[in-house]
Amino acid sequence: MIRQVSAFRQITLVSLLAGVVALAWYNQDSLRLAVGLASEAPDNRSSRAGTSVPVIVAPVEFANDALSLQVVGTGRALRSVSLRSEAAGKVESIAIEPGKKFSRDDILLTLDDTDQELAVKIAQARLDEGNRVFQRGETLRTTGNTALARLQELRTAAEVARLELERAKEALNDRVLRAPFDGISGIAEVEVGAWVDTQTDIASYDDRSIILVQFELPETFLSRVRESMLVTATTASVPGEYFEGTVSAIDSRITASSRTTRVRVSIPNPDDGLRPGASFTIKLDIPGEQFAKVPELSLQFTRGELYVWR
């Protein structure tokens, strides 16, 4: 029994050894390759470490995203009115001439005031009479010859006469058209002898010391424009000339239909060379921020993010 078991073990051991030898012979190429790589790995690493890889290098530069924006707008005077009379009547005199300068309260036009002067004289006479009667009533009151109620009536009559005189003087003043502010008159639309009323446009009148230019600014630039920002303006009415100005007002809202907002520029006009109504081209130099700038080839896009080789 012992000899049979030993023989069986011997047969099993021989079979296992034969299988191992066969497997090794079948995979001899793979083993040889593995052994070769293991032995060559240190040499390859040292070889790669001593080899230079050519690259293109570039310094990181900085760029500014400032831009120059040009817009077109229409100029208007700092103050501008259409002159009209406070009363109706016949023109008696007119001082208005195209381009003539006036100071505030200068007389521009007068209407016939004959009736108004008479009304002032009549009101003055009534006031004088009312004051005399009232004074006489006060004297009689001290002697007991006039009732208190009568004295109060006389006082009221004198006050009414005073108010009527003021109204007559105001009507007389309305016959004179005066300059509302320092400015320049335009062409008169009426002549001496013409009849005018409160709806008649007599002439234009402007304060051209500053020209205002209004334009529409896209909302994308709104956060970068500030009041007092310097601008440069040109106009076809004065070719070849450049005018300096500043941003004087920015509207408080954005127009939904156009996605723009109104911006107003003030341009000093000391020589009176600019005219309201002219077309102006406004140049705004909008400042920007500094950003790093690298060659496009150095950028790599991975997992939704940009990377730079360094």
Instruction: Break the chain into its structural domains and give their ranges.
Output: 68-77+208-292, 79-196
Residue 23 has pLDDT above 60, yes or no: no
24, 31 Cβ separation under 8 angstroms? yes
Residue 120 has pLDDT above 60, yes or no: yes
Residue 166 has pLDDT above 80, yes or no: yes
Smallest CA-to-CA distance from 296 within 40, 44, 56, 32 is with: 56
Higher per-residue pLDDT: 92 or 151: 92
Range of weakest confidence among 66-80, 84-98, 148-162: 148-162
Segment 43-89, tens digit of pLDDT: 555 555 556 767 777 787 877 777 888 999 999 999 999 999 999 99
Residue 137 has pLDDT above 50, yes or no: yes
pLDDT (0 to 100) of residue 22? 55
Report the CATH superfamily, name and number, of domain 68-77+208-292: Efflux pump adaptor protein, beta barrel domain (2.40.30.170)
Write out the two tokens for 174.
Answer: 């309305």
Higher per-residue pLDDT: 221 or 41: 221
pLDDT (0 to 100) of residue 61? 80
Residue 276 has pLDDT above 60, yes or no: yes
Segment 225-240, tens digit of pLDDT: 999 999 999 999 999 9
Residue 21 has pLDDT above 70, yes or no: no
282, 231 Cβ separation under 8 angstroms? yes
Smallest CA-to-CA distance from 65 within 292, 271, 307, 287 is with: 287
Residue 286 has pLDDT above 90, yes or no: no
| β-strand pairing of 243-250 with 203-218 | unpaired
Q: By percentage, how much of the chain surpasses pLDDT 70?
A: 81
pLDDT (0 to 100) of residue 35? 46
pLDDT (0 to 100) of residue 78? 97
Higher per-residue pLDDT: 184 or 294: 184
Mean pLDDT of 187-199: 95
Confidence bin at 259 (pLDDT 50/70/90): very high
Mean pLDDT of 244-251: 96
pLDDT (0 to 100) of residue 64? 74
Residue 252 has pLDDT above 90, yes or no: yes
pLDDT (0 to 100) of residue 52? 72
Smallest CA-to-CA distance from 182 within 276, 82, 105 is with: 105
